[in-house]
Amino acid sequence: MEAKKTGTTVCTGSTKCTHNPRDPKNPSVNVKSNELQIASQVLGRQIRIFNASTEGDIDTAFETLTQQGAGALLVGADPFFSARRAQFVNLAARHALPTIGEWREFVAAGGLMSYGTSISDAYRQMGRYTGRILKGEKPADLPTVAYF
């Protein structure tokens, strides 16, 4: 899913090289990285993935991205990155680097755009469904919610 979203939003138009940070401490990092590489190859685009697991790593990455002439930055869904969205937004503005984030909260913090829903709304909906299930409703009887 991450690769599909990336392919349709970032790796299009005149952007030839997109960069994606990854937190090597996240257990799903290799799967997401592989999906991104496959999607970029299918689209004939280049993507560079770099590791960042500290605030200093993020600062250093932006310096490197600027030196390499990055066309864009995709910040994927990762708890570490979500908690540092203000840092990403500030650095993206300082370095004039178009940056897209997973959640709506990235835009609320001042980011350029997002390709996902509001994580707060998703958690709220999960809480509602959990309450309904605890009150006896069957999960199969609950309506499907689509966020567009």
- Beta carbons of 11 and 47 less than 8 angstroms apart: yes
Q: What is the pLDDT of residue 123?
A: 86
Q: Is domain 2-116 given the CATH code 3.40.50.2300 in the classification?
A: yes
Per mean pLDDT, which of 98-107, 117-126, 131-140 is the most reliable? 131-140
Residue 61 clears pLDDT 50, i.e. is over it: yes
Lowest-pLDDT choice from 29-43, 66-80, 85-99, 108-122 = 29-43
Q: What is the pLDDT of residue 31?
A: 59
Residue 103 clears pLDDT 80, i.e. is over it: yes
- Sort residue 46 into left (φ over 0), alpha (ψ -120 to 50) or beta: beta
Q: What is the pLDDT of residue 22?
A: 58
Is pLDDT larger for residue 72 or for residue 148? Answer: 72
Using DSSP's 3-state secondary structure scheme, residue 80 falls into helix
pLDDT class for 32, splitting at 50, 70, 90? low
Task: From residue 8, give the alpha-carbon distance in Å to each of 20, 39, 72, 89, 133.
Answer: 15, 9, 14, 22, 36
Mean pLDDT score, 75-98: 88
Q: What is the pLDDT of residue 70?
A: 82
Q: What is the pLDDT of residue 25?
A: 65
